[in-house]
Structure 1
Amino acid sequence: MITIGYQSDTGAWVGERLSEPYRFGSGRLVPAASLPDLTFPVRERAGRVGPLVGVLVSESSIPALLVGKKRWLETVVRSVHDAGGIAIVTTAAGVKENTVSGFVLVPASGRWIKASTPLPDVVYNRVKSRAEESDKRFQTAAARFDAGGIALINRSFFRKSDVYDALRADGRLWPHLLPTAPVRTADDVRAWLNRYSCVYVKKDDGAKGNGLFRLTVLPDRSVLCEHPGGRKRLRSLEALAPLLESGGYIAQAAARTDTWNGQRYDLRVLAHWRRGRYTMTGVGVRLAARRALTTHVFHGGTILPYAEVEKRIDEASLAQLIALSGERLSERFGFVGEFSADIGVGPNYELYVYEMNAKPMSFDEPDIEKRRLERLNELFASFAQLAP
């Protein structure tokens, strides 16, 4: 470890009496006779210091970050500093041709300062909406990273239909996939119900259970429609026509599932690219409330310790499922350094993919979050050629 400093008046990152021209991100440290007040301990290896990590966020996230209302994001930044790197939190508008402007956390004081840095070694994308990722400023920033050979971890959100198409391209994953396709009309849904009798209909770009409902054919041929807010009986599927015709819905065949004490559960798997392959960082379990539609905690689900169901899970099969899925996702969406998977467990302990998520939320399990930060910092260091 060495100590470097930031000259806020000139925007220069400096080292005291440098014995060699250390590389810092896409730039180099400036030699100085002494260090300024703002100093940072950093890792050093083979003429490089850092890594310098860009954390790309939405414009609306910055004010909340500066007043301490983005605790998880701040935890990620602190972990980068603890691992000997420096993180600059920026927006797409802050990415210039050769520099990045944004905010850096000063470890000694815990305060955020405005700062500029060279283009970073690696960028962690936490922009929170699809609309912003489609915006010209984001696309320009992404192009600048590409031109500089800078990895943009998790370039975009996933759409459920795109995930299904990506995974379906690998025959080894077919046993884990539930039939899935776009639905645009009541007739489309009717055809699905004639074949499967119970289907989930989801917003293709939905998250957290929003835009989700389950349709089940009843003995009198009416259809029970369940959603997180309640349930009702439909005498005609035409009642769904206005919603479906608004666009962006998919149908997914329902799977028979294993239960724990009479309640459905599924797995939340966190995965990272590590040492040349996708590996599982942690497995959480979410338990649905009785008669509930989803296992999401904010829709009434609860957290179940993994140890309660661990003996039911073929971990070798789960690990292969995650490894192959990560490869297919990266082929489709660009490099995916981190993702999470919602995995269903069948009555004979078969594994089914429900969804894959490009920007996982924080996990409630502290041990999984701890390993997540370790894996992220390993990933950041590897792109800066600073991994041990």
Structure 2
Amino acid sequence: MSTPKIALQVISSGILPDDVLMLGESLMKQSKIPAQQQLTLQFGSFRHSVTIVPVPRYQGMRVSQTLARRMGIFGGIRLRVQYRSAARTVALGPLIGVLVSRVMPEHPDKPFGDITMFCREVTEACRSQGAHVYFFTPAAIRPNVSAVEGWVYTKGWQRLTLPAPDVMNNRLTTRKLENQPEVQQFMRDIKTRYGAKVFNEKFLDKSEVFDALKKDGSLQRYLPESHSLNNFAMLKSMCSKYGTVFLKPVTGSLGKGIIRISRFGDGWQASHATVSGTKRQIFSSLAKLYSSIAEKVKSVRYQIQQGLSLMEIGARPVDFRALTQKDAKGNWVTTSIVSRTANTDHFVSNLARGGTLSTVKATVANSNLPAMIRADAFRRLRAAALDIARGIDTYIPAHFGELGIDLALDSSGRVWLLEVNSKPSKNDNTPLHEGKIRPSVRTMIRYARYISGF
């Protein structure tokens, strides 16, 4: 991107008036910014009338202390600058807001709990790319959406009042928080009033994803047969087709609530995924099994899915998490793919259930797959992840910038979709040996710059 990056210098308001900016002369010529004329300064939702004075042999921008405080910025930060001639506007940015579930000021070293280091990474990535980021919770949203109480990092975490952002990344971790009326209203308002972009704006549920992807014939090859579990007849029908089926909560995550149903001699076995391991129950008939779970499937929407013969390592099933993201040009790319091997006595591979993380290459090499399929496994997984990400983009009316896509390989090498997560974890979806700032974080900021025009 060609928008120049400049350092901001904060000057005492007694020396520099609030309606005057000082900007390097060469940058003004390069960006065709008119001098000594009334223009609009824009930073997120903030708008202010200013006159710009050129400064020879100077590369930055000087702003008054009062103006900087109103913008929620401080000296030394570097931002992109862009002149929008049609609107006679000098835009600084991008200003990125990350909506998170909670903040704990009483823990200054880890105010965001387990994602505090992720927040630090985002801050560092923004600094290197000339963006500014803050983090806020639903509790910080005001009725007047032009200002937000956010947290920024500069020699420690501090709370400031900032404008509404150019770009918002929704990192809320529960549907309850996301569905709060004030959160939904905030997202609508910043989009309609200020032209802000909001990505990963909603959770996905399993039925929604499968129903959407079924619309595309080229994607159906990745989809195990799947239906909403509404009654015993549906369970009986699926069990007559497949020796094993899975019941999955439509809105579940981390393997919670998954039930595996399989034949066991003349009867049926229900295996329940729990934190401590797999709980198994034997039933003489499928009807009796259904009776035991009927109350659960009435109170929680479940999806019934065809069981798959997954690749294994030492009788432990393996699946894969692909992180797909939009890049600096708005195209879907695969940032990483890792394998997850289920722990002993578990049939789900989530790290929360004791699963083991590894590289695709190492896992496939030790698996029961034929040698010919092993050589091609990564390419197949990558192609499937990109196909599915594009399909989600096409058939689900929402804006996504990154998706965690859980895939499986069966013993013949066929790729299957297990589920899609619109709030992918920042702990279990990246390669094992990263530097300080993960590629996934850098890519996220590049995409934020792209959609904001910076």
Deviation at 1:327, TM superposition (A): 2.5
Q: Write out per-residue CA displacement over residues 205-243 of structure 1, whole angstroms, 9 at most, x where no aligned residue.
A: 000001111111112123343423422213322111111
Deviation at 1:261, TM superposition (A): 4.2
> Structure 1 pair 243/33, CA: closer, same or farther in 2 (3 Å)?
closer
Deviation at 1:29, TM superposition (A): 6.6
Distance 1:272 1:336 in 2: 9
> Retained in 1: the 8 A contact 2:330–2:447?
no
> Structure 1 pair 123/77, CA: closer, same or farther in 2 (3 Å)?
same
Q: Write the letter of the residue equivalent to 1:372.
A: S
Secondary structure in structure 2 of the residue aligned to 1:251:
strand
Secondary structure in structure 2 of the residue aligned to 1:172:
coil
Residue 50 of structure 1 corresponds to: 93
> Structure 1 pair 15/261, CA: closer, same or farther in 2 (3 Å)?
farther
Moved more, 164-173 or 16-25: 16-25
Say whether 1:296 aligns with 2:344.
no
Distance 2:150 2:200 in 1: 21
Say whether 1:91 aligns with 2:128.
no
Secondary structure in structure 1 of the residue aligned to 2:213:
helix
Secondary structure in structure 2 of the residue aligned to 1:359:
coil
> Structure 1 pair 234/68, CA: closer, same or farther in 2 (3 Å)?
same
Moved more, 130-139 or 98-107: 98-107
Q: Write out per-residue CA displacement over residues 263-294 of structure 1, whole angstroms, 9 at most, x where no aligned residue.
A: 32111100101224211000111111244211
Aligned-residue CA RMSD (Å): 2.9
Residue ranges of structure 2 left out of the alignment (5+ in a row): 25-32, 34-38, 51-61, 84-90, 366-373
Deviation at 1:25, TM superposition (A): 2.2
TM-score, L = length of structure 1: 0.88
Say whether 1:336 aligns with 2:400.
yes
Residue 311 of structure 2 corresponds to: 258
> Retained in 1: the 8 A contact 2:120–2:153?
no
Query: Where does 1:156-175 land on structure 2 (aligned, <5 Å)?
Result: 156-175=202-221
Distance 2:149 2:10 in 1: 14
Deviation at 1:196, TM superposition (A): 1.1
> Structure 1 pair 312/65, CA: closer, same or farther in 2 (3 Å)?
farther
Residue 249 of structure 2 corresponds to: 203
Q: How many residues align?
A: 380
Distance 1:306 1:29 in 2: 52
Distance 1:297 1:155 in 2: 25
> Retained in 1: the 8 A contact 2:340–2:349?
yes
Q: Write the letter of the residue equivalent to 2:292.
A: A
Moved more, 97-106 or 233-242: 97-106
Residue 55 of structure 2 corresponds to: none
Deviation at 1:64, TM superposition (A): 7.2
Residue 362 of structure 1 corresponds to: 426
Say whether 1:61 aligns with 2:115.
no
> Retained in 1: the 8 A contact 2:123–2:153?
no
Distance 1:375 1:95 in 2: 30
Residue 128 of structure 2 corresponds to: 82
Say whether 1:280 aligns with 2:334.
yes
Deviation at 1:43, TM superposition (A): 3.0
Deviation at 1:348, TM superposition (A): 1.7
Q: Write out per-residue CA displacement over residues 356-381 of structure 1, whole angstroms, 9 at most, x where no aligned residue.
A: 00000113434397110111011111
Q: Write out per-residue CA displacement over residues 186-216 of structure 1, whole angstroms, 9 at most, x where no aligned residue.
A: 4432322122121111110000001111111
Say whether 1:325 aligns with 2:379.
no
> Structure 1 pair 248/63, CA: closer, same or farther in 2 (3 Å)?
farther
> Retained in 2: the 8 A contact 1:4–1:13?
no
Moved more, 193-202 or 27-36: 27-36
Say whether 1:183 aligns with 2:221.
no
Residue 110 of structure 1 corresponds to: 156
Moved more, 98-107 or 276-285: 98-107
Aligned-residue sequence identity (percent) comes to 20
> Retained in 1: the 8 A contact 2:98–2:133?
yes
Instruction: Pick the structure with greater CA Rg.
Output: 2
> Retained in 1: the 8 A contact 2:351–2:357?
yes
> Structure 1 pair 252/317, CA: closer, same or farther in 2 (3 Å)?
same
Deviation at 1:73, TM superposition (A): 3.0
Residue 233 of structure 1 corresponds to: 282
Residue 385 of structure 1 corresponds to: 453
Secondary structure in structure 1 of the residue aligned to 2:412:
coil
Deviation at 1:104, TM superposition (A): 3.5
Distance 1:15 1:298 in 2: 54
> Structure 1 pair 149/183, CA: closer, same or farther in 2 (3 Å)?
same
Secondary structure in structure 2 of the residue aligned to 1:304:
strand
Q: Write out per-residue CA displacement over residues 138-168 of structure 1, whole angstroms, 9 at most, x where no aligned residue.
A: 1211211331332111010110000101111
Deviation at 1:6, TM superposition (A): 7.7
Residue ranges of structure 1 left out of the alignment (5+ in a row): none
Deviation at 1:3, TM superposition (A): 2.8
